[in-house]
Amino acid sequence: MVSKSLSKKLAAIGSVGLLVIGIPFATSKITARSSVETESKLTILPVEILEVRQANSYQIVRNYTGEVAARRASELGFERSGNLVWFGVDRGDRVVRGTAIAKLDTRNLEAQRARLLAQKAQALAVLSELQNGARSEDIAAARAEVSNLSNQLQLEKIKVDRRRYLYSQGAIGRETLDEVTYRTKALSDRLNIARSRLAELLNGTRKEQIAAQRAAVRQLDASIAELDVNIDKSTIRAPFSGIIAARKMDEGTVVGAGQSVVRLVEDTAPEVEIGVPDRILSELQIGSQQMIKVSDRTYQARITAILPEIDPATRTRTIVLKLAGNSNAIASKQIARLQIKQKVNTAGYWLPTTALVKAEKGLWSCFVAIEKAGNYRIEKRDLELLHSDGDRVFVRGMVSEGDKVVAEGTQRIVPDRLVRPIQVASKD
């Protein structure tokens, strides 16, 4: 009996002992599981994520540099040499087309012109006389001379007959007969000349004489016109409206033909000349609108020409653009920049710059939140940076459509970290 009772007690004590021993073990397991759950909740980091969407292209803006050029700018000089006697403008003066700017001394030219005018007047008087023909008084005088010479010739012929008779009788010598005979021949020649003169007066002036005199008048006219041209060339006139940019000489200077005296710059809307690579000309058309930046202002401009030759130094083609709007105040020689937008067709994704993580060897990565068994863990994905545009970048690489990319706070994250994604708006 005793032994049975003892056995029961020992069994009871053993059961109690096991129960007591088992309580600490159960408590330990519960505490550990609670600690793990609490720690997990404390280490899940909230992060802003962005679900990426694929884009098929991106746009880049390239800047090309050139300069503002006046549409017209001329170094003005005289076409002949001479003494500069008058200047009517100064630097900065605005002139209109045709305005006299400077003059040379023309006194010698004016004297030559006066002499030629006098010769022309004389030639015209002769021409008028030839065209009008002989006067009646001249014809009457010519007839009287013919009659007088005829009478004298008749008288001399009578004298010759008498002298021949006397000579045959030996009353006079041979010398006396020869003298009378010679006077008869002389009077006969004078009579023929007088008759010819009378016939000329009666017939009028020959056409050849009138033509020759007219040619002489025209020759004088040409000489006078040549002098007028030289006198006109002695004055510089503005070939177009503009502003005097430089005055290079003063009165009293003897200038040579073609020597620059003033520089005139047109003051209308200027042009811009910019060199661009030949490969992008297919994107530029004459007449297309472009954006030009001069100093701190941006202007609308239209392409007016694409020059055919390549600059050997820069290997570029020059395009000419006309500025629109209030651009008259822009000074020439200023730096101008052309902004050209180009579309690049390639697949990729837009990400904010804050999503980038610097990788090894100058490469880039991003963090992506991946769902596994109801939790989100961080994975690192390598990227290729294609284009940067302000606060966003265009990339391609180990990301796919719909990936949850960490957009902010990448400095707090490491791979395999538990996170809680917070959706933010797309920035593409």
Report whether 383 contacts 344 (CB < 8 A): no
Closest CA to 365 of 339, 389, 383, 388: 383
pLDDT tens for 64-90 read 999 988 778 889 999 999 999 999 999
Domain CATH number, residue 403:
2.40.420.20
Residue 353 forms part of a structural domain: yes
Cα–Cα distance, 187 to 152 (Å, whole number): 7
Task: Read off the amino acid at residue 386.
Answer: L
Residue 51, both tokens: 């679900």
Q: Does 150 share its domain with 253?
A: no
Ordered DSSP codes for 6-31: HHHHHHHHHHHHHHHHHHHHHHHHHH
Residue 18 forms part of a structural domain: no
Residue 245, both tokens: 């940019």
Element (H, E) at 51: strand 45-51
Q: Does 125 share its domain with 188?
A: yes
Residue 153 forms part of a structural domain: yes
pLDDT tens for 342-355 read 888 999 999 999 99
Q: Does 179 share its domain with 204?
A: yes
274-308: b (≥16 Cβ within 10 Å) or e: bbbeeeeeeebeeeeebebebeeeebebebeeeee
Domain CATH number, residue 78:
2.40.50.100
Q: Does 351 share its domain with 365?
A: yes
Cα–Cα distance, 36 to 15 (Å, whole number): 32
Work out how many domains the chain is built from and give that number: 3
Q: Does 99 share its domain with 130?
A: no
When pLDDT is cut at 50, 70 and 90, the band that residue 103 belongs to is very high
Ordered DSSP codes for 403-416: -EEE-S-GGG--TT
Q: Does 115 share its domain with 220?
A: yes
> Any idea which residue has 């990788």 for tokens?
359
Boundaries of domain holding 152: 110-224
pLDDT tens for 175-229 read 877 787 888 888 888 888 988 877 776 666 678 888 898 999 999 999 999 999 9
Q: Does 359 share its domain with 412?
A: yes
Q: Does 188 share its domain with 253?
A: no
Mean pLDDT, to the nearest integer, of 321-329?
72
Q: Does 85 share its domain with 148?
A: no
Report whether 341 contacts 284 (CB < 8 A): no
Residue 77 forms part of a structural domain: yes
Question: Is residue 259 predicted with pLDDT exceeding 80?
Answer: yes
| pLDDT score for 31 | 44
Q: Does 217 share its domain with 121?
A: yes
